[in-house]
Chains A and B, each alone.
Chain A
């Protein structure tokens, strides 16, 4: 499926030129630590790096770190930095920078907050070594440091402290590209970092060997997918991302275009308000699960069958370490009788259920339009409210405003990093059973594969019994590029190191 290496595939790699990318949305910030937006990440991860990062197989490996050791009791992690690392401003990367960055991450990022519940202390053993002391064992620590969501990027101490809890404005990192300029609404420009110290391993993903062939990368926000595609066909852009699957036929017909179908991309979920309203009752959430016909919902969202997949997992099948099929007997098992029975049992009296969706992401509202009649068939009275993205974002932070909203979840790499398990994330999931299972996971040694598999199954079983979110299905992404681009390999967001252009 994916080539294991990030090395240039065919032809002679050449330096120089500029890669031109048509994206679908404008980022609002480039601070990969504070924002979970993909529009942010796909630019930011060229500029910033963390101690650890995921490889082509979604497993965490060292990036800025040389390696690490753990004490026997699992409470002390010693992480050594690679030698000779420098920031884009010429400063050397030291343990102080790491500590300041991680402290910020612990406050700002959901995964960081979860991790820092266990962290007792951070200290610099010497300028090249950091020691993390835990109050209780937390085996996902290293994984968490490598999570691509709200990543633990390392920035200079002074910058981290100046930014505090606000998004970073000074964009100084260690990555293969340097942030050059941003003309909002028009383009984002990155320039090659001539002093980049690359690793040598062929791990792929976000770590391993990264060579910046192109002099510059230009990102252009082009919101209309037909225009994006047209631009790649004419050579105005080299690659266009986030194309609706309905355009695939057009792509296939053009011999100069290559299509990349990204399978580990996103899964659509129906998020319940568990703090207020009818869905505080688990039975009603289960009723919705029983009223869903997932194939119809996915077809509405993603069109042709080649672009989606029904799968019960919290994670994607390609993520071997954490993939589980527990709950498959409840997932995609539409049963209107059971749904109605649950409604009766829970004493549902016809209260209006507010379902929020947005047309700003077409798949979002399309899913809602199929979900609503399915819920109505089960006996729910539904009020479907469509908002633009900013209004929906604002309303979903207020428990009195909605009962359900729809969203897409990009890949997580560890159950402790799953965003909707967080207690303060919209939906407000509080569950002792899940807390206990996650705590167990946090204690299980990384090498105890069998034990971890059992805990993962347990976590997923709870997920399907308590239904904090009803999973719809895995949606694939469509990226298209032309014959100017070489060496490109797909991942859940675009990366342009180890890639070159001929014009």
Chain B
């Protein structure tokens, strides 16, 4: 870990800074109650829609609530949801991906269902799911995780397919090792890197998806602040209180951008060949791309490209 951090700072200083930003945001979210901020739901009708100034560094909203405080507290919800989605979709995607990659018959069925799920643009599916399941953090996590796990599954499946044919796996099979052990010890361990990279990007997408859903009124509801629902409230005040629109958005961008930068750097550091390729000597890549070495796959290049998780916002 220590070596990794040093490598990061040395070779990808911007990403290292991004990691710092993420750490700061996380800390702020965790320690929010101890930061001496004005209570985020303290209503002050007399001081509604006040511009940034003394007492309210980022201004107040349409209920007179302090925007700085609400932006910080929003972090708790949004990061929680992002984390939940990341955990859920990674777990589900790994399970399905391993099974599909290893067992032919599972693959046939699983790919159909995954293809079906991936036929929906992210937001639409998330919308419908949240509308059906009901509003609330837990349902939101389920909905967004359902939307994004197919992509993780595909990546794990791809790795599994490749690794399945490698010598050490054949050896393990010959030695009579159980499927479970092969999958977890041999295959998964070697597929870990792309999985981790993908998880970072899923986290980023989840934050964007949460923002969009909240903006449409289908996320966590006020008075609990989330960046998305703050923007929803701010919508009609674009003219009269522009600060209300600016700050929650900046928070989203900072978080997502940092996550993308870190994910990029992770991938580059973990796979030097792909990194070199990205820097000008070969294959396609970029944030949120699949982990495949695209040259190896031929028509699979398209698959790799289509493995791109599209952004939840359109």
Interface residues of A (CB under 8 A from B): 225-226, 244, 246-247, 249-250, 295-296, 299-300, 359, 365-366, 369-370, 372-373, 384, 386, 388
Is B41 an interface residue when CB atoms closer than 8 A count as contact?
Answer: yes
Chain B residues near A249 (CB, 8 Å)?
A: 240
Beta-carbon contact of B41 and A296 below 8 Å: no
- CB B134 to nearest CB in A, in angstroms, measures 10
Complex CA–CA separation, A26 to B62 (angstroms):
27
Complex alpha-carbon distance, A478 and B239, angstroms: 19
**Contact partner of A246 among B135, B217, B236, CB < 8 A?**
B236
Of A244, A296, A384, the contact of B43 (CB 8 Å cutoff): A296
Contact A370 B43 (CB under 8 A): yes
Q: Say how far B244's CB is from chain A's closest CB, in angstroms.
A: 12
Q: Assess the B240–A296 pair: CB atoms within 8 A.
A: no
Q: What's the least CB distance linking B41 to chain A, in Å?
A: 7
- Chain A neighbourhood of B41, CB < 8 A: 373
CB distance A370 to B63 under 8 Å?
Answer: yes
B222, closest chain A residue (CB): A369
Q: Could you say which of A225, A246, A300 contacts B240, with CB atoms under 8 Å apart?
A: A246
Query: B49 → chain A, closest Cβ, in Å?
Result: 8
Q: Is the CB of A225 within 8 A of B236?
A: yes
Residues of A close to B221: CB separation below 8 A: 384, 386
How far, in whole Å, are A373 and B63 apart by their CA atoms in the complex? 12
CB-based contact B45/A299 at 8 Å? yes
A-chain residues with CB within 8 Å of residue B217 when the two chains form the complex: 359, 388
**Given A369-B63, A372-B223, 8 additional A-B pairs, CB 8 A:** A226-B236, A246-B237, A247-B236, A296-B45, A370-B43, A370-B63, A384-B221, A388-B217
| Residues of chain B at the chain A interface (Cβ within 8 Å) | 41, 43, 45, 48, 62-63, 135, 217, 221-223, 236-237, 239-240
A300 touches B63 (CB 8 A): yes
For B48, what are the chain A residues with a Cβ–Cβ distance below 8 Å?
Answer: 299
The interface residues of chain B lying within 8 Å CB-to-CB of A388 are 217
* Majority secondary structure, A binding face: helix
Q: How far is the CA of A247 from the CA of B236 in the complex (A)?
A: 9
Residue from B43, B135, B222, B237 within 8 A of A373 (CB atoms): B43
* Known interface pairs A246-B237, A250-B239, A369-B63; A300-B223 also in contact (CB < 8 Å): no
Chain A residues with CB below 8 A from B222, complex form: 365, 369, 386
Check B63–A244 contact: CB distance below 8 A. no
- The closest CB in chain B to the CB of A369 belongs to B223
In the docked arrangement, what's the CA distance between A359 and B229, Å? Answer: 12
Q: How far is the CB of B158 from chain A (nearest CB, A)?
A: 41
Q: Whole-angstrom distance from the CB of A305 to the nearest CB of chain B?
A: 10
Give the CA-CA distance A384 to B224 in the complex, in Å. Answer: 11
Q: Could you tell me the distance between the alpha carbons of A496 and B177 in the complex, rounded to whole angstroms?
A: 84
B110 to chain A, nearest CB (A): 35
Q: List 29 A-B contacts (CB under 8 A).
A: A225-B236, A226-B236, A244-B236, A246-B62, A246-B236, A246-B237, A246-B240, A247-B236, A249-B240, A250-B239, A295-B45, A296-B45, A299-B48, A300-B43, A300-B63, A359-B217, A366-B62, A366-B63, A369-B43, A369-B63, A369-B222, A369-B223, A370-B43, A370-B45, A372-B223, A373-B41, A384-B223, A386-B135, A388-B217
Nearest CB in chain B to that of A244: its residue: B236
Contact B237 A300 (CB under 8 A): no
Q: Which residues of B contact A386 (CB under 8 A)?
A: 135, 221-222
Closest 7 CB pairs of A and B: A299-B45, A386-B221, A296-B45, A369-B223, A359-B217, A370-B43, A369-B222
Point out the residues of chain A lying under 8 angstroms from B45, CB to CB. 295-296, 299-300, 370
Closest chain B CB from A180 CB (angstroms): 33
Q: Which residues of B contact A247 (CB under 8 A)?
A: 236
How far is the CB of B223 from the nearest CB of chain A, in Å?
5
- List the B residue with the shortest CB-CB distance to A224: B236
User: Chain A: which residue is nearest B223 at the CB level?
Assistant: A369
Q: How far is the CA of A246 from the CA of B48 in the complex (A)?
A: 11
| Closest chain A CB from B204 CB (angstroms) | 28
A373 to B223, CA, bound (A): 10
Q: Residue on B with the closest CB to A247?
A: B236
Contacts of A225 in B (CB 8 A): 236
A299 partner residues in chain B, CB cutoff 8 A: 45, 48
Alpha-carbon distance A419/B237, docked complex (angstroms): 35
Q: How far is the CB of B217 from chain A (nearest CB, A)?
A: 6
* Bound Cα distance from A296 to B45, whole angstroms: 6
Set of chain A residues within 8 Å of B63, measured between Cβ atoms: 300, 366, 369-370
Measured between alpha carbons, how far is A249 from B236 in the docked complex, in Å? 13
- A226, B236: Cα distance in complex, Å: 7
Min CB distance B135 to A, Å, is: 7
Task: For B62, list chain A residues within 8 Å (CB).
Answer: 246, 366
Residues of A within 8 A of B237 (CB): 246
Return chain B residues, CB-CB under 8 Å to A370: 43, 45, 63
Q: Which residues of A contact B223 (CB under 8 A)?
A: 369, 372, 384
A250 contact set on B, CB distance < 8 A: 239
CB distance from B238 to the nearest CB of A (A): 8
Q: In angstroms, how far is the closest chain A Cβ from the Cβ of B287?
A: 34
CA distance A406 to B48 in the complex (A): 22
Distance, CA A242 to CA B210, complexed state (A): 31
Q: List, in ascending order, chain A residues with CB within 8 A of B236's CB.
A: 225-226, 244, 246-247
Residue of A at shortest CB range from B48? A299
| A359 neighbours in B (Cβ, 8 Å) | 217
A244 to B41, CA, bound (A): 23
Inter-chain CA distance A133–B223, complex, in Å, is: 55
- Give CA–CA (A281, B43) in the complex, Å: 29
Identity of the chain B residue whose Cβ is nearest the Cβ of A388 in the assembled complex:
B217
Q: In the complex, A103→B48 CA distance in Å?
A: 52
Chain B residue with Cβ nearest A387: B135
Q: Which residues of B contact A372 (CB under 8 A)?
A: 223
Most chain-B CB neighbours within 10 Å: which of A299, A386, A388? A299
Which B residues lie within 8 Å of A366 (CB)? 62-63
User: Which A residue's beta carbon lies closest to that of B232?
Assistant: A359
In the assembly, what is the distance between CA of A365 and CA of B221, in Å?
Answer: 10
Distance from A315 Cβ to chain B, minimum over Cβ atoms (Å): 27
A386's nearest neighbour on chain B, judged by CB, is B221
A230 to chain B, nearest CB (A): 11
A244 to B222 CA separation, bound complex (whole angstroms): 20
Q: How far is the CA of A359 from the CA of B223 in the complex (A)?
A: 12
How far, in angstroms, from A386 to B217 measured CA to CA in the complex?
A: 10
Q: CA A257 – CA B47 in complex, angstroms?
A: 29
Set of chain B residues within 8 Å of A373, measured between Cβ atoms: 41, 43
The CA-CA distance from A405 to B78 in the complex, in Å, is 29
Closest A residue to B42 by CB, please name it. Answer: A373
A372 and B135 CA atoms in complex are apart in Å by: 19
Complex: A384 Cα to B220 Cα, angstroms: 12
Instruction: Find chain A residues with CB under 8 A from B135 CB.
Output: 386
**Complex alpha-carbon distance, A366 and B49, angstroms:** 14
**Contact partners of A365 in chain B: CB under 8 A:** 222
A384 neighbours in B (Cβ, 8 Å): 221, 223
Bound form: Cα–Cα A226–B239 in Å: 10
A30 CB to closest chain B CB (Å) equals: 29
